[in-house]
Copies of this chain bind each other. A is one copy, B any other.
Amino acid sequence: MNRKQLFELIRQKRSFLCVGLDSDINKIPAHLLDSDDPVFEFNRQIIEATIKFAVAYKPNFAFYESRGSKGLQSLEKTMLFLKKYENEVFTIADAKRGDIGNTSAQYAKSVFDEPSSGFSFNAVTVAPYMGEDSVKPFLDFEGKWAIILALTSNKGSDDFQLFSDTDGKRLFERVLERSQQWGNTNNLMYVVGATKAEMLGDIRKIVPGHFLLVPGVGAQGGSLHEVAKYGLNDHCGLLVNASRSIIFASKGPDFAEKAKAEAAAMQEQMETLLRDAGLID
């Protein structure tokens, strides 16, 4: 899926919502624990309840890997289920990978190369610390995306990402500037945390055309209006992720219904924001 197709999807669904499938087995509703695969069953119901309102789904690999091969099976089944909706959703492997060139090429296969790994995500999140050759192998897959961590939503983002050089340029700005040369607006996105929404203005000066994946709205406290104000561009340019606030809106038997209501409320706000920006009628 290229940038134009993603924008079309956003216009169709009148939403730029990404649902984070951080499906911690210790937090899913108790009544699901009797299923053959409780995490898959949880994901399936969450997806069916929210598919009308979400343009993207983003399983965070940590919540699957923590359960070893059983966890990987839950993820495999989830992605197989999402194939039903192949042209209706964008899928993101939130795995924050990155290694030396020949090794990153293997990580790229692990998320993009279906015959090899079974997975065919549209995009993967990538850590930039190891530089160009750690990112390039992901960009070599036609039609796939690397989403580079720029400015993250957590407390520790202050430790290194805001580190300034002699010109007053911060590390995340250097990451944005340099990594742009490795790809283009059809295969590179950036992670920018909603908890740093006021910095989105500066970020848009460096990457006016790229999509940004924005976590931190919802449970982490970021504001959707602030994000839209500074982040929207002429192709929307935003995928705003919410995980816990949607998938764990209720821990009872009504979890899917409550997730649907949360997703619908976000979609409604997004529709207004898209309309106000002149991106939809």
Contacts and interface: CB of A to CB of B under 8 A. Distances in A.
Interface stretch (A39-47, A123-131, A266-274): A123-131
B65 A69 contact: no
Interface in A170-202: 171, 174-175, 178
Contact of A98 (B96, B103, B119, B134): B96
Given A63-B106, A106-B66, A154-B101, A128 B130 contact: no
Nearest to A219: B102
Contact of A103 (B63, B99, B107): B63
A159 B132 contact: yes
A24 interface: yes
Interface stretch (A11-19, A109-117, A253-261): A109-117
A165 B132 CA distance: 21
Contacts of A175: 160
Given A101-B154, A106-B65, A160 B128 contact: yes
Interface residues of A, number: 59
A85 interface: no
Interface string A211-246: 000000000000000000000000000000000000
A45 B190 CA distance: 43
Most buried by B among A101, A132, A163: A163
B96 A97 contact: yes
A62 interface: yes
A147 to B, nearest CB: 13
Contact of A68 (B96, B97, B117): B117
A100 B156 CA distance: 8
Interface string A154-169: 1111111101111000
Given A68-B110, A72-B69, A100-B152, A161 B129 contact: yes
Interface string A56-77: 0000101101111101110010
Contact of A110 (B22, B62, B76): B62
Interface of A: 22, 24, 60, 62-63, 65-69, 71-73, 76, 96-101, 103-104, 106-107, 109-110, 113, 116-119, 127-135, 149, 152-161, 163-166, 171, 174-175, 178
